[in-house]
Structure 1
Amino acid sequence: MKPNLDTLNANQRSAVEWTDGPVLVLAGPGSGKTLVLTLRAARILQNDPDASMLSLTFTTKAADEMRQRLDTLIGGRAERAHLCTFHSFAGDVLRQHGSHVGIQPDFSMLANDEDRIAVLDGVIGKLICDTSALPTDRKNLLFLLDRLFAESYNGEPTAPGMTKTPPWIPPLFKAYCETLQSSNRLDFGALLHFARLLLSSNAGVSRLTRLAWQYISVDEFQDTNRAQYDLLSLLAVGKQPNLFVVADDDQIIYQWNGASPERLLALRSDFEMNVIQLPENFRCPPVIIQLANNLIAFNQTRSEGKQPLVAMKAATDTPALKAEKFNSEEEEAANIPKVISKSGWRPEDCAVLARNARLLDRAANALTENGLQSFLAKRKTEFESPAVRWLFSMLRLANARHDRELLRRVCVAWNHFTGSLIEFEDVEAEAALDGGDFLRAWVNTASSREPIDTHVQLLTQISSTVVDRIDFLQLLEAFWNAKYVDDALEAEEIATWRELHSSLTREHAPENMTLHLYLQEMDLKSKAPAQLPGSIRCLTVHGAKGMEFKHVFLIGMADEVFPSYQATKKGHESKEMEEERRNCFVAITRAEETLNISWSRTYNGYAKRPSRFLEEMGFKFKKPAS
C-alpha cells in the first residue's frame, strides 16, 4: 500500500517528505506526530529498497504502535525498520558486541529493586573506604545510582549535578559496575552505560553499528536523559546526519529522571537542526486549547519561536469545560461517578487524572462504591501468581543453569504453586553429580517426588523442551493452554504474558528468538495487565502522557497539591514550577471532548487555595479581603 499523504496538512507534509539531513519536528499534543513518523518511514523504505531505519522511542507501547502501522502500510518492507526503545537497542548492541566491555550475550536483567539491593549490599561489604556516611536506606542509594547512570557518569571524582561529591561515590559506582560485569547481570541504567561505553571505546563496533542504519528517528526526544543523548550522538555522526527528531519542550515532565529543557537546546546546536513545527491540535476542543496556550505561555524555558497550539476541531454546543470547587476531598471524589452516570458516558471513555497517586486511590474507591469499575495503572516488574512466577523462574534457570539464587527461587515458587517442598540442598547435591546443572537436577528431583498427574505432565514437558533442548516457545504454548489453578490473577497474568509475547514476536522473528534474548526483552517490559473492559482509568499525569480520553476529570487542582508542595517552596519562577506547569499542560490536553477540573477547600486537613495554574489558564477568582 502506498502511503497516502493527501490527508496531511502543510506542516505534516513537510515533515513526512523530509529525507536527508537533521531536522527537529516540534510537535504539540494531538498534532499527529505518530502518523508523521510512520508515513515518513513508510515513504523512505518503499522508495529506496536499500534503505534501513532505526526508530527509537521512549516506550514499548509507542514502538508497538508504530510497528503495527508500518506493517499495515508497507508489509515486508517494514523489516528494514528497527523500532525499539533506547534500552532495547542498547540490549541489541550488547548481545552482538558486549564481550568487548565484559558483557556476554546471555546477560540477565536485574528487573526489581530486591535483586539490585542484594548486589549493592555485596558491593558495600567489600569497599575499601569509609562507608559510614552511606545512606542506610538502600532505595535511596539505588536512586542515586540511577541518576549517575542517567547523567553518563563514569566514576570521575566529581559527579554531575553535585556541588561536592562524597568520596565514597566513585569507588561505589565503579565496584557496582564491575560486579555487574563479573556476574553478567545488568540493570536498566547499566544497559545504557555499557552500550555507551562500548560505542565510545571501540571504533570498529561503533562504525559497524552506524553503517547498519542509514536513517535514525527519535520519538519523544524531550524525555531522554543525558545517557540516551550521548548514545544517540555516537550513532548520528558527521556534519549532516540523517536524524529525524520529534519533540515538544512543553511536555518535558521527567526532570527527576534526567530529562532537561537544556538538552533540546543542545540538540539544536550540536546537530544544527532544521526545525518544522506542528502546532495544529486535532484532539481537543477550542476552549481547552485556549486554556493550554494561556497556561504554558507563563513558562520562560521554551524553544525560540515556539508557536501556540491551533485548534483544528470546531466548537460544539455541548459544554466542553467545567471547573468546580468542593468542601472536601470526599465530595470531590464522589462527584466523579455522579457526573459519569448522569451524562451516560461509557466508563472506558473516561479517565481520572491527578498529580499524585493518593488522590487516585480516593477517586477509585468512590467509583467502586457507586458501582463503577476503576482501573489503577501501576508498573509491575514481576509476575506474582504462583504458577506463572514458577514458570518464568524456570526459564531464567534454563538460561543460567549454575545460578544458585535462581535455583532458590524455583524451589520457593514450586512450593507456592503445588504445595510440594523441594529442598534447595537436595537439588544442589543432585547437581554435584551431574556437572552442576541445577535445572536438570531440579527436574530430576521434582519428578521423583511429585505424585500429582497434572504436575508430572508439566515436569515431563519441561524436561523435553528446556532441559534437553531449548524449545521454550513450545513449552509456553503448552503451559498457557493448560489450567493448573482456578485463579483470576493467574488468568490475568497469562493474558498479559501472551500479549507481551505477541509484541516480542512482531519485533523479533521466532527463528531468531533465543532464550536469553526473550528473557532480556521480557524483563524490559512491565507485567501490568491491560485495562479491564468497562473500567475507568485512574492515572497520574505522568502515567497519562501520550494518551487521550473523551472525558477527563482532573482532580486536586489546588496549590501545594498541583503544583506540588515542593515546587511552591522552590518559588514561582523556579524550574520546578515550570515543570509542574508542563505537567498541567499535559493533563488538560488529554481531553478529546470534555474536561472537568476540580479542587477541594482542604487536603489532608489543611486549607488550600485554588491552584495558581487556574488563574494562568484564564479562570477568574475573587481576591480574599485584606
Structure 2
Amino acid sequence: DKGPLLVLAGPGAGKTKVLTTRIAYILNKTKGEKFKILALTFTNKAAKEMRERVEELVGEEVKRTYIGTFHSFCHELLRSYGEYIDLNSDFMIYDNHDDLITLLIEAVKRRVQDEIEGKEPPFLIEKYENVRVIENTIPGFYYAYTKFKNKLIGPDDLPPDRYSEDFKFIFKLYQQALKEANVLDFSDLLFYTHRLLRGNSFIANHLRTIYRHVLIDEGQDTNKAQFELIKLLCGKSYPHLFIVADEDQLIFEWNDAKFEYLVELKNYYQMKVIQLYESFRCPSQVLEVANSLIGHNSLRISGKKPIVSQKDNKREEVIEPNSFKNQIDEAAFVINKINELLDKFNWEDKSGNNKVCIIARNRYVITEVIKKLEERGIPYYVPMLQEKFVTKDMNFVVNMLKLSQNENDRVTFYKICEYLEIDYEEILSEYSNKSLFEIAIEALKNKNTELAKAIEKKEMQMREYFDEIFNTILETKHGEGNEEIVDDIKFFKDVYRDFKNAHPLSEDLGEFLNYLALTSRKEGKGIAILTGHASKGLEFEYVFIISLNQGIWPDYRAVNRAKRGEKRELEEERRNCFVAITRTKKKLFLSYVEFKMTRSGNLQPVEPSQFLYEMGLLSKENN
C-alpha cells in the first residue's frame, strides 16, 4: 500500500487483479476511515470490471472509491466546480463527431451571414461566403481543434505565426458556439478540468485530502492533458501514486499519448519500478515471437525482462503462418478455417462469440473477409463501426431526452426534425414563441401521441420514466417484434444500471445522459472484426492476423519515414502488431499476400511485412 510505484504489466499479466487487490487491501486495512481511493482508467468497461471485482472483495467499503475513466471523473469535477471557470453545471456532452461538426458549420454560416448583413465586421466573408467551402473545410478544422485541446492548447495559445488568421478565429468561434449551446466535447472535459485545477489550487488540495491514494490504469496511454491532470491531482510530491502501464502497448500516439509522459511521471515522482513479466493468457510460442518483435524497438524502459508464459503447451503448434496469392484467397482460407473451428468445437450459437477474432491494420483490408462472412451467413461485428444505438427509434428517444435537458439545442432539434420528417425552418417559424423541446413535443403528438405523453412525464423517477417510454415504444408498430429495438433498450438499461451503481442517489437525467454519452458499445455477436487499435484490452482463443505485408502493416507512411531516419511511427506500428499478437489464448494464424488489391481495383505486388522477419517466422534466405 506504499508508493509511488510503477508496475510494468505485460499482456495477460493480471494488471486488473493487481489494481483491484491493492484497492481491496487498502480498504480492508483502513476500515472506518474517511479517505477515499481514486482509480482512473480509459474505458467504462474496464472501470465497471474493476468496481465489480473490488465490491466482491470488500462489499460496502467499495463506496470509499471512485473508479472511472479520466473523462467521467473530469465530468463530475466540472459539474461540481465548473462555476469557478464560468461553466454551467448543467452542461451536456456531445459524443458524436458529426453533431460537433454541424455545430461548428452552423456557427461559421451564422457569422458569415452577420458579416453580409453588416452586423459584424468583415473577416470570414471573403473566403467562406460559398457554403461548399465551409462544408469542405470545417471538418478538418474541427479534428485539429480537438487535438489541440488534448494538448491543452486553446484558441489563445496557438503560435502567432504558424496558423492562418481564419483558422484561429474559427477556433474561437467553435469554443463560443459550444458555450452558447451549453455543450462540451470530449476534449473539453480534460481541457477545462486542467484549467479548473490549475487556476484554483484549493480544489486540487481538497481532492488530495479526499483521495489519499491515486491509481492509474494503462498509464502508457495518457496524453498531454491527462499527464498534466495527474500532476495537478497529486501535487509536487505524492506518496501513494500507483501506475500500471506497459510502454510496449502504447498505440495511441495519434491521440498524443507518448512514451516520454510515462518516463517523466516515473522520474517526477521518483517511482519504484516493478515488472510483472509472467503472462497467464498467451502460449509460450506466441510470447517468443512477440518478445522477438518488440525487441526491435528503442523506446522502452530499460532493464525489462522478456514476457514468459504460465501455460504448458510447448508440444502444440500454436502459430500457423500462411501466404496467399491475393486477399481474396486469404479471406477464403480464413473463413474456411473459422467454419472448421465452429464445427469442431460445436459452440452453442455457431458464432464463435468472444472466441475468434480477425485483426487487420486498417478497415480497408477487412473488406474481403466481411464479404466472405456474409456469403457464408456467419455472424460478425465490427466494434469500430458499432453505433451506440442501432435503431432510429432509440436514437430519436435519446435525442428527445437530450433536448428536454437542453431545450434550445439546435443540432439535436434538427435530428429530431429529420426523424419526424418535418421542415426545420418551417416549424421554427410556426412556433417562434416556444422552446425547441416544446416544439418537438407538439410535432411528436401528430405522429405518436402516446410516446409524446410518455416523454413529457419528466417528473417521474428515472427508472419508472424510462420504463414508461420503452413500454410505449414496444406497444407501437415501431417496436413490435423488432429484435434490434429490444437490444437497444437492453443496452440502455444496462448503462442505466451501471450509472445507478456508481451514483446510487442521483435522479439527475442530465447527469445520466452525460454518463451515457461517455459510454461506448463495443461488444457484439459473432466473429470480432478488429483493427490492431480496436483489439486492445481484448482476448480470444483463436486470432487471425491478415495481410501482414510491407506497406500495409507496417503502414507505408511509417516505412517511408523510417527510411529517412524518423523511426517513431514505425515503432508504434510494431507496438500495434505486438498488441494484436498477444490477444491470443490458444492459436495464432498469421498471413500475408503476394499481390494486394489497390483502391482503384488493380493488383499490386507486395513484400511480406518486415515484422514477420523480426518475429523469426520468415528469413531472407528462405523467402
TM-score (norm 2): 0.88
C-alpha separation in 2, matches of 1:194 and 1:582: 31
Contact conserved, 2:181 with 2:408, CA < 8 A, in 1? no
Per-residue CA shift, 1:210-231, capped at 9, x if unaligned? 3221111110111111011111
The letter for the 2-side match of 1:326 is F
C-alpha separation in 2, matches of 1:441 and 1:583: 49
Could you tell me which runs of 5 or more consecutive residues in structure 2 were left unpaired when the two chains were aligned. 113-121, 598-602
Per-residue CA shift, 1:335-357, capped at 9, x if unaligned? 11222333424422111111111
The one of 270, 275, 278 aligned to 2:276: 278
Per-residue CA shift, 1:38-78, capped at 9, x if unaligned? 11111111211323111100111111111111121111111
C-alpha separation in 2, matches of 1:215 and 1:92: 18
Aligned position for 1:564 = 555
Aligned position for 2:577 = 584
Contact conserved, 2:319 with 2:587, CA < 8 A, in 1? yes
The one of 118, 121, 125 aligned to 2:102: 118
SS at the partner of 1:543? coil
C-alpha separation in 2, matches of 1:54 and 1:176: 33
Offset, 1:405: 4.3
C-alpha separation in 2, matches of 1:423 and 1:471: 32
Aligned position for 2:116 = none
Per-residue CA shift, 1:425-447, capped at 9, x if unaligned? 55775572xxx444345435654
Offset, 1:615: 0.8
1:552 aligns with 2:536: no
The letter for the 2-side match of 1:552 is V
Aligned CA distance change for structure 1 residues 148 and 404 (closer, same or farther; 3 Å): closer
Aligned position for 1:242 = 240
1:602 aligns with 2:602: no
Offset, 1:163: 9.8
Percentage of pairs with the same residue: 30
Aligned position for 2:394 = 388
Aligned position for 1:47 = 29
1:398 aligns with 2:404: yes
Aligned position for 2:115 = none
Aligned CA distance change for structure 1 residues 506 and 379 (closer, same or farther; 3 Å): farther
Aligned CA distance change for structure 1 residues 514 and 381 (closer, same or farther; 3 Å): farther
Answer with 392-401 or 423-432: which moved more: 423-432
Contact conserved, 2:613 with 2:620, CA < 8 A, in 1? no
Aligned CA distance change for structure 1 residues 384 and 546 (closer, same or farther; 3 Å): closer
Offset, 1:256: 0.7
SS at the partner of 2:404? helix
C-alpha separation in 2, matches of 1:163 and 1:61: 43
SS at the partner of 1:489? helix
The letter for the 2-side match of 1:337 is I
Per-residue CA shift, 1:314-350, capped at 9, x if unaligned? 1243311110101110111111122233342442211
Offset, 1:507: 1.7
1:354 aligns with 2:360: yes
C-alpha separation in 2, matches of 1:405 and 1:167: 27
C-alpha separation in 2, matches of 1:205 and 1:473: 33
Aligned position for 1:538 = 529
Q: In the TM superposition, what are the counterparts of 1:470-481 in structure 2 within 5 Å?
A: 471-481=461-471
Q: Structure 1 stretches (4+) deviating beyond 6 angstroms?
A: none
The letter for the 1-side match of 2:496 is H
Aligned CA distance change for structure 1 residues 271 and 206 (closer, same or farther; 3 Å): same
The one of 507, 510, 527 aligned to 1:513: 507
Per-residue CA shift, 1:60-106, capped at 9, x if unaligned? 11111111111211111111111111111110010001011121111
1:363 aligns with 2:369: yes
Aligned position for 1:335 = 333
The one of 526, 542, 546 aligned to 2:520: 526
Offset, 1:382: 5.4
Offset, 1:164: 3.8
Aligned position for 2:119 = none
C-alpha separation in 2, matches of 1:119 and 1:380: 23
Aligned position for 1:376 = 382
Aligned position for 2:118 = none
Contact conserved, 2:500 with 2:506, CA < 8 A, in 1? no
Per-residue CA shift, 1:222-273, capped at 9, x if unaligned? 1111011111111011323311101001011111111111111111121111
1:140 aligns with 2:134: no
C-alpha separation in 2, matches of 1:309 and 1:589: 11
C-alpha separation in 2, matches of 1:153 and 1:181: 17
Aligned CA distance change for structure 1 residues 38 and 456 (closer, same or farther; 3 Å): same
1:229 aligns with 2:210: no
Answer with 370-379 or 51-60: which moved more: 370-379
1:177 aligns with 2:171: no
Per-residue CA shift, 1:476-499, capped at 9, x if unaligned? 122334513243432332222222
The one of 503, 515, 519 aligned to 2:498: 503
Aligned CA distance change for structure 1 residues 446 and 165 (closer, same or farther; 3 Å): closer
Aligned position for 2:70 = 86
Aligned CA distance change for structure 1 residues 101 and 623 (closer, same or farther; 3 Å): same
The one of 68, 73, 76 aligned to 2:52: 68
SS at the partner of 2:547? coil
Aligned position for 1:15 = none
Contact conserved, 1:177 with 1:190, CA < 8 A, in 2? no
C-alpha separation in 2, matches of 1:281 and 1:200: 40
RMSD: 2.6
Contact conserved, 1:381 with 1:525, CA < 8 A, in 2? no
The one of 15, 21, 36 aligned to 1:33: 15
Contact conserved, 1:284 with 1:589, CA < 8 A, in 2? yes
The letter for the 2-side match of 1:35 is K
Offset, 1:380: 4.6
The letter for the 1-side match of 2:297 is N
Offset, 1:622: 4.5
Offset, 1:310: 1.5
SS at the partner of 2:544? strand
C-alpha separation in 1, matches of 2:467 and 2:338: 41
Answer with 104-113 or 86-95: which moved more: 104-113
Offset, 1:167: 4.5
Could you tell me which runs of 5 or more consecutive residues in structure 1 were left unpaired when the two chains were aligned. 1-18, 416-420
Offset, 1:174: 3.6
SS at the partner of 2:384? coil
Offset, 1:624: 8.7
Answer with 105-114 or 228-237: which moved more: 105-114
Contact conserved, 1:112 with 1:381, CA < 8 A, in 2? no
Offset, 1:172: 3.7
Offset, 1:391: 1.3
Offset, 1:363: 1.3
C-alpha separation in 2, matches of 1:472 and 1:431: 30
SS at the partner of 2:274? strand
Aligned position for 2:288 = 290
C-alpha separation in 1, matches of 2:385 and 2:191: 23
Contact conserved, 1:57 with 1:218, CA < 8 A, in 2? yes
Aligned position for 1:5 = none
The letter for the 1-side match of 2:77 is V
Aligned CA distance change for structure 1 residues 169 and 335 (closer, same or farther; 3 Å): same
SS at the partner of 1:599? strand
The one of 57, 81, 105 aligned to 1:97: 81
Instruction: Count residues in correspondence.
Output: 585
Contact conserved, 2:41 with 2:70, CA < 8 A, in 1? yes
Aligned CA distance change for structure 1 residues 407 and 286 (closer, same or farther; 3 Å): closer
